[in-house]
Amino acid sequence: MRNLELSSDTEFRFLTIDDIVTRGRTVFVRVDVNCPLDPSSKQIIDDTRIKMTRETLERLQDAKVIVGSHQGRPGDEDFTSLEGHARLLQKYVPQRVKFVEDTIGPEAARQIVNLKVGEVLVLDNLRLCSEENVSAPPDILAKTIMVQRLARLLDVYVNDAFATAHRLQASIVGLPRVVQAVAGKLMARELEAMKQAYYDPRRPSVYVIGGAKAEDKLPIIDNILKTGRADRVLVGGVVANTFLRASGVSFGEAENRRLEKAPDLLEKARAILAKYKEKIVLPRDLAILRDGKRVDVSLGQGIEGDPVRDIGKETSDEYAQIIKAAKTVVSSGPLGVFEEKQFDVGSRTVLEAMAGEDAFTVVGGGHMGSYASMLGIGQRLSHVSTAGGAMLTFLAGEELPGVRALVESAHREIAR
């Protein structure tokens, strides 16, 4: 241990890999290389999260490194082995990368024990272990067979999976209770950007929230507005359609039913709108798919039955104006189906407006981050986060269990 001075920042008193000696030690690095996959070929479409592990792994060339991650969830189409991820990782790190088709069994243990300094061993998808799929308090997860088996083979645990820090899972909160735990480079960098956006937002502060998971995003929007961190929230995607439906807009029978699928969702949306009418900006027009073409329609012009694919052009321009006047802009979740070129107007306009500004700009959520890179404007944003849910959880003022585990480990270390 080189430096036991923790930062004065009370909520974030954890150690990082630069505070400890790793030479010759066996170090487990929890990363998040959960990537978007092509549904039919199962090939990785965007490997940004794999690339982003480089800084930490390069720093660990003096150690024996084990890499653990999840990919998808059991039962989902994107739940696959990490063999392909390991192959891609080899492109980015100087060490020799090996893959073992095992997680906590005898073959994994044998390969961990035989690992040499300067090698990286990628374990298979940690969610192949049933215990990794149980959400439970850290002290319970610390007692799982998974944690106990891995812990006895390790000297140090590094959490570099900021994008999974909102999950109460064995490899995120269980393992760091029994092995000395520190933050990786990416984790530290992500938290610095989040702290800047959260604790000291330059005003006006604008959030742009899109994406499909309205049931996740509504409570987060509520919390962000409650903490007073956002002056305006601009919405797009299914999130926007949910608010619009809650305020009486009809999308046609089938779509209305889909938007009402979670029983309290519209109720929740109405309550948020009632509380924060001035702060939430809803689309005034939408783009629909009609006869294979994009058609922009004003609300009230009737969108009965035509699938909504994007926010409209007028709305996009209005959002761009608001973003250009802001000093802090946080965006997560696409505003439309940007994979179809004619429906990328909302997402592209928002990203371009962000990139042109002398403001603190953060883009999160795998999709928007990838799209910013594809448009070639990633470099012109203050921070592109690898996280979606974890980022918004943090910015909504909630504690991240993965970060808490690092803080608690640091306190145990200091008390020793």
Q: In the complex, which residues of this chain contact Mg ion (CB under 5 A)?
A: 389
Part in contact with ligand 3PG (CB under 6 A); list of ranges 82-90, 162-170, 252-260, 302-310? 162-170
Phi, psi (rounded to 5 degrees) for 13: -85, 75
CB of 389 or CB of 401, closer to Mg ion: 389
Q: Which is nearer to ligand 3PG, 211 or 283 (CB)?
A: 211
For the CB of residue 164, give the shortest distance to Mg ion in the complex, in Å. Answer: 9
> Residue 220 and residue 222: Cα distance in Å, rounded?
5
- Does 164 help bind ligand 3PG (rule: CB under 6 A)? yes
Q: Between 369 and 389, name the residue whose CB sits nearer to Mg ion.
A: 389
Q: How far is CA 143 from the centre of its chain?
A: 27
Q: Which does 328 bind (CB under 5 to 8 A by kind): Mg ion, ligand 3PG, none?
A: none
Determine, following the binding rule CB under 6 A, whether residue 163 of this chain makes contact with ligand 3PG.
yes
The distance of closest approach from Cβ of residue 122 to ligand 3PG in the complex, given in angstroms and rounded to an integer, is 16
Q: At its nearest, how many Å lie between ligand 3PG and the CB of residue 404?
A: 17
Q: Which of 197, 207, 277 is nearest to 236 (CA)?
A: 207
85 binds ligand 3PG (CB under 6 A): no
Dihedrals φ, ψ of 301, to 5°?
A: -85, -5
> Angle at which helices 185-199 and 401-415 pack, to 10 degrees?
110
Q: Is 167 in the site for ligand 3PG (CB under 6 A)?
A: yes
C-beta neighbour count of 275 within 10 angstroms: 13
* Among 112, 66, 107, 111, CA closest to 89: 66
Cβ proximity to ligand 3PG: between 167 and 232 the closer is 167
Helix (H/G/I), strand (E/B), else coil: 322: helix
Binding residue count for ligand 3PG, defined by CB under 6 A? 8
Instruction: Give the C-alpha distances (Å, rounded to integers) separating 76 from 35, 37, 84, 167, 214.
Output: 13, 11, 18, 18, 19
232 by DSSP, 3-state: which?
strand
Only one of the segments 160-168, 239-247, 260-268, 371-379 lies at the binding site for ligand 3PG (rule: CB under 6 A); that segment is 160-168
Give the single-character DSSP code of 170: I
Task: Output the smallest distance, CB 368 to ligand 3PG, in A.
Answer: 13
> H or E segment at 157?
strand 156-159
Within 13 Å, how many C-alpha atoms sit on residue 22's CB side?
27
Does 393 interact with ligand 3PG (rule: CB under 6 A)? no
Report, in Å, the least distance between residue 200 CB and ligand 3PG: 26
Please report whether residue 388 would count as binding ligand 3PG according to CB under 6 A. Answer: yes
- The residue ranges that bind ligand 3PG (CB under 6 A) are 32, 34, 73, 163-164, 167, 388-389
